Amino acid sequence: MNGEEEEEDDFFSASAQGSLSDPVVLQEYARLSSKYSDAGYREGITDGKLSTLQQGFDAGFALSVTPSRRLGQIRGHANALLTYLTSLNSMDPRIEQVREIVRDAARARRDDILPVDMEREAHERDEHPDEQFELDQTAQRDMEGLEGELEALGGKDQLGKREQELLDELESRLRQIERELKA
């Protein structure tokens, strides 16, 4: 009967299975806690990145949209003026001046009209000193430099003109021709 009493004791005693002291429950709790903690951490990182990306996009957009739109307007204005002049008189000497403005506006590159992002460049160099910097010399940048040098040989040197200065100069040339037409 001694063996039967042990079985009855096990049957009537509180089972450890499913209780807080059960090793399986403790292990499952640790696993779930870690899983949700990791998921929360990842979501926090993702939300932080998205917030930072949005702020960066907003700042970059604010800096680049005005000069880019302005260049687009200059290009459109110059082409419209060229069309107008050629429709009136194909011998008008101003046609060549407007063609030159159209060419100069077409040559303007993003780097010519947008401000340099010094903070981004410094960050890239600090964070990745051993890697090629995005704006370091590449085959494409070498080709753009060669194109610029060839243009300079042809007397069309716009190298060194930056941002507002380049756009102001193109607009000024267009306004001068328009004033001549009105006179």
| Sequence ranges of the domains in the chain | 20-114+149-182
Place 174 in a pLDDT band, splitting at 50, 70 and 90: very high
Provide mean pLDDT across the span 55-79.
Answer: 88
Residue 159, pLDDT > 50, answer no
At 20, is the secondary structure helix, strand, or coil?
A: coil
Give the separation between CA 42 and CA 75, rounded to whole angstroms. 46
What pLDDT does residue 57 have?
83
Give the separation between CA 10 and CA 26, rounded to whole angstroms. 22
Report whether 74 contacts 174 (CB < 8 A): yes
Provide mean pLDDT across the span 28-46.
Answer: 80
Least confident of 54-58, 97-101, 135-139, 152-156: 152-156
Query: CA Rg, the chain, in Å?
Result: 35
What pLDDT does residue 165 have?
87
Give the separation between CA 92 and CA 176, rounded to whole angstroms. 15
Whole-structure pTM value? 0.55
What pLDDT does residue 41 have?
76
Residue 144, pLDDT > 70, answer no
What pLDDT does residue 158 have?
46
What pLDDT does residue 90 have?
78
At 88, is the secondary structure helix, strand, or coil?
A: helix
